[in-house]
Amino acid sequence: MIICLSHQKGGVGKSSLSTNLAVALNAILVDMDRQHHSAKWNKLRKMNGYDPLPCYEVDDPADLRKIVKDNNGKNIVIDTGGFDSGMNRIAVMASDIVITPAAPSQADIFGLQEYEQIVKDIGEDMKQDIQTNILINNADTRSKRDISNLQKYVKENDTYFNLLDTIIHNRKDYKTAYGKGLGVIEFNATGAAAEEIKQLIKEISG
């Protein structure tokens, strides 16, 4: 399964989700972000004495295609950059499932409005209808109204968006695990953050 974390907006949590999914799925990690946070996390992992994941820093479409071809049948998680580019669009096209994280805020709703056009353009290039799966991320349990507003927006714009049931909350385990080069499932397997990642995998694999 090839999973692409994609959004033209930065700071939405693609790298944190990418690393957690890669750990949980024992996947190959492809880092296409200019800042290469996922690759840096993987190096931190090695520095702290943990086995690093197979990780590629990719800046060329040919390299991405080769990784996908050479690892046919394996789990691959692609962390794209927070911008629109031909490379990012190719990653979306190559993926089995696309996940777009969005925080429950008006700013992220504006971001999704912009991203909707990109998804539409990619579908036209592929000559088929495609959807990205919107994952509510970095949610505050006290912000029920903001979560509800985001859910309502996505459901009302379901041509290119599919709302995932899983919600990733703003939990300390995500930050602590990331700072150690770990996924939350490794850091605290019975914690609430680990359960959210398990639920996400179950949902996208179903």
* Residue pair 61/39 in contact by the 8 Å Cβ criterion: no
* Residue pair 75/1 in contact by the 8 Å Cβ criterion: yes
- Provide the residue ranges of all domains of the chain, joining segments of one domain with +: 2-205
* Residue pair 3/95 in contact by the 8 Å Cβ criterion: yes
* Confidence at residue 2, expressed as pLDDT on a 0 to 100 scale: 96
17-26, 77-86, 134-143, 150-159 — which is least confidently predicted? 77-86
Tell me the mean pLDDT in the region 134-138. 96
Please identify, in words, the CATH class of the domain defined by 2-205.
alpha beta
Residue 187 identity: F
Reduce the secondary structure of 94-133 to three states and give it as a string. Answer: HCCEEEEEECCCHHHHHHHHHHHHHHHHHHHHHCCCCCEE
Tell me the mean pLDDT in the region 24-30. 97
Tell me the mean pLDDT in the region 4-27. 94
The pLDDT mean for the chain works out to: 93
Task: State pLDDT tens for residues 118-128.
Answer: 999 998 988 88
Q: Which helix (H) or strand (E) holds 137?
A: strand 132-139
* Confidence at residue 138, expressed as pLDDT on a 0 to 100 scale: 94
Task: State pLDDT tens for residues 58-107.
Answer: 989 899 999 999 998 899 999 998 777 888 899 999 999 999 999 999 99
List the one residue out of 177, 132, 202 whose CA is nearest residue 15. Answer: 177
User: Residue 55 pairs with which residues in a beta bridge?
Assistant: 29
Q: How far is CA 159 from CA 19, 117, 123, 133, in A?
A: 29, 11, 11, 11
Task: State pLDDT tens for residues 148-158.
Answer: 999 999 999 99
Tell me the mean pLDDT in the region 40-64. 94
